[in-house]
Structure 1
């Protein structure tokens, strides 16, 4: 199959993003090893795990280790989370002033209860003044160093409290270089379907900076369809690449109008898995690397004929030697299954969003909520 599209000229600050594809930051996933693996398949922007502003300001050792980029990563993209304009500005000044990243994104889309109950993530854009203060302070600090600051958010808290159009207009007015919309509410979490019509509406409302779409991109065809249906300037890929880093090669081919490469057989998947393990070991050492790798196994083998006993072995792997032994037991000629094309990663069920007491009383209240903790990564 050959896919074609009139490819937009996506620019985020000084960076031309070709193809117009961004890897979404995912907690426990988009560390330097996984980003490097994905980048070996195609260009784009690859965002590191979420970093907490307070942890940057206080130079938390674990966070500083997470702020690691590969030798060839360009631009080095970091997502920052915070609820206090002053802390966010200080963190951005540290990051840009010390040359720690070339692009700073901000997280106003996280639906996790431990984040929203403190007024952070997807809860925060409801407070329009506070949201504007954070974007203004952060974007100004980034601009001083010539670094683009972008904003990612959701459709709203729930169907009764939609925030995305105000958030987009505010972000544009306060100096953001681009905005990204995950087309679900916080109440949806990752369940159901993303409402791409909201991306189209945001694109109509925000005309001076790029608008990127996020949600339910599991194939290169999904990316082309999102852009055709919404008019967005680029796509943000999250769960679709779990256990499937070669998706970025398929996306690059699709946007270039080339034939989409066939899915890898099980032998090639095993090679990719082994490469992932090597990169993790280099970054974190063997013990932590193997623990981290275990959660990827079900994604890599999704739809493939791998027996339950062998799957259990992969899920408990503790060394590269053990991994090699398990890989040797796979049917390397097994073709890529059609069943592996669909949704992957967490989906869960919708639910009530946990918010601070009285959070919905006044959307123009600019008071800073309870200070976030220092736990980076989500």
Structure 2
């Protein structure tokens, strides 16, 4: 069966022109990068993950992450927490004090420092706790008409799947949608995403399901929604060094066949714009330092020399960046071999670090270990 391609996404009262969501990525999806991607195409652009405790206790690092560009008309934040009280209070603060229009709850993070506290992708194993957290967030956000969604994975591993129960619980709690990454926590980003699980969840719940995993090109997004019936897609690593992917996605969901293959000169212009926005938000020194991590992604597959790449990865000013970018061959064509391939670290399957006795029952009501205050994944 082939499902129709959606043209927009509805999350409660929130209407998203293109059914595409930028996945929160620690150290990546700051205000500058969100603006850069939004300049390329329509969609919903989510802030880096922040902790509920950090918001409630007014942690300076967390509050600094709640920085939005002046062009962001829809503020979207991903919230992490393991305590329903903290999550509820944080949701209220986000809606009442920071003008946030959409809150996404993270129940999919595979990072050991998160799962060892019973958070992220480990938490849905505790069905009652999951329900308590979701209900607290929905209840707190409701007076402000702010939709709450959740993101999760298939489960902890192949023997401990949670996604169908998580979908049911999200629906019962009043969530506006659920996003499913088609991998288990122990897979992290290795192997291939299981899109069939996304289709299974679509058939299991009545709320919108968003599909995540292995969307490297716009054609992958269209294939995913046609195969699964998902209401939209969540794009993460596929846009690293390729913010123009959102241009392709907007065109594809509008029924147009457009694939952006920028020559190196166009890529250099995008790099300069990215660095400029980072410097505008963070100052030139910190902005250039933040930009360095993106260089390898932008230049993936291009023949730019090793010394030039290394110098770009050490850039400390916009003037130095301009000089280095001018040395790239503007006419070098986009490397076709880089299309449809993974970006960012894939890693390999690994044992999931969990709190002592976490798997003994699925009916936990309290968090095994208190969440810390540090945001950003």
Paired residue for 1:259?
257
Post-superposition offset of 1:328:
0.9
Superposition map of 1:116-155 within 5 A: 116-155=115-154
Q: From the superposition, tell whether residues 50 and 43 of structure 1 become closer, same or farther in structure 2 (CA, over 3 Å).
A: same
Ranges in structure 2 where 5+ consecutive residues have no aligned partner: none
Q: CA RMSD in A?
A: 1.1
Paired residue for 2:38?
39
Listed one character per residue, the Cα deviations across residues 108-149 of structure 1 (whole Å, up to 9, x for unaligned) are: 000000000000000000000000000001111111211001
Look up the SS of the partner of 2:55 in the other structure: helix
Q: Distance in 1 between matches of 2:45 and 2:4?
A: 22
Paired residue for 1:368?
367
Q: Distance in 2 between matches of 1:280 and 1:5?
A: 38
Post-superposition offset of 1:162:
0.2
Q: Distance in 2 between matches of 1:47 and 1:9?
A: 17
Q: Distance in 1 between matches of 2:274 and 2:123?
A: 35
Post-superposition offset of 1:5:
5.8
Range that drifts further, 367-376 or 353-362: 367-376
TM-score of the pair, normalised by structure 2? 0.97
Match of 1:270 among 268, 271, 281: 268
Paired residue for 2:338?
340
Paired residue for 1:75?
74
Q: Distance in 1 between matches of 2:169 and 2:337?
A: 41
Post-superposition offset of 1:99:
3.8
Look up the SS of the partner of 1:232 in the other structure: coil
Q: Distance in 2 between matches of 1:36 and 1:64?
A: 19
Are 1:5 and 1:255, in contact at CA under 8 Å, matched by a contact in 2? no
Post-superposition offset of 1:343:
1.1
Are 2:7 and 2:253, in contact at CA under 8 Å, matched by a contact in 1? no
Post-superposition offset of 1:291:
1.4
Q: Distance in 2 between matches of 1:370 and 1:249?
A: 42
Q: Distance in 2 between matches of 1:19 and 1:26?
A: 20
Q: Distance in 1 between matches of 2:124 and 2:332?
A: 47
Ranges in structure 1 where 5+ consecutive residues have no aligned partner: none
Q: Distance in 1 between matches of 2:260 and 2:270?
A: 15
Paired residue for 1:176?
175
Are 1:15 and 1:75, in contact at CA under 8 Å, matched by a contact in 2? no
Q: Distance in 1 between matches of 2:175 and 2:7?
A: 19
Q: From the superposition, tell whether residues 241 and 150 of structure 1 become closer, same or farther in structure 2 (CA, over 3 Å).
A: same
Look up the SS of the partner of 2:186 in the other structure: coil
Are 2:7 and 2:254, in contact at CA under 8 Å, matched by a contact in 1? no
Q: Number of paired residues? A: 374
Are 1:188 and 1:351, in contact at CA under 8 Å, matched by a contact in 2? yes
Residue 242 in 1 paired to residue 236 in 2? no
Post-superposition offset of 1:325:
1.0
Are 2:244 and 2:260, in contact at CA under 8 Å, matched by a contact in 1? no
Are 2:180 and 2:210, in contact at CA under 8 Å, matched by a contact in 1? yes
Residue 322 in 1 paired to residue 320 in 2? yes
Q: Distance in 1 between matches of 2:177 and 2:289?
A: 36
Listed one character per residue, the Cα deviations across residues 150-174 of structure 1 (whole Å, up to 9, x for unaligned) are: 0100000000000000001001101
Are 2:245 and 2:260, in contact at CA under 8 Å, matched by a contact in 1? no
Post-superposition offset of 1:8:
4.5
Paired residue for 1:306?
304
Paired residue for 1:114?
113
Listed one character per residue, the Cα deviations across residues 295-350 of structure 1 (whole Å, up to 9, x for unaligned) are: 10000001111111111111111111111111011001001111221210110011
Look up the SS of the partner of 1:295 in the other structure: helix
Post-superposition offset of 1:290:
1.3
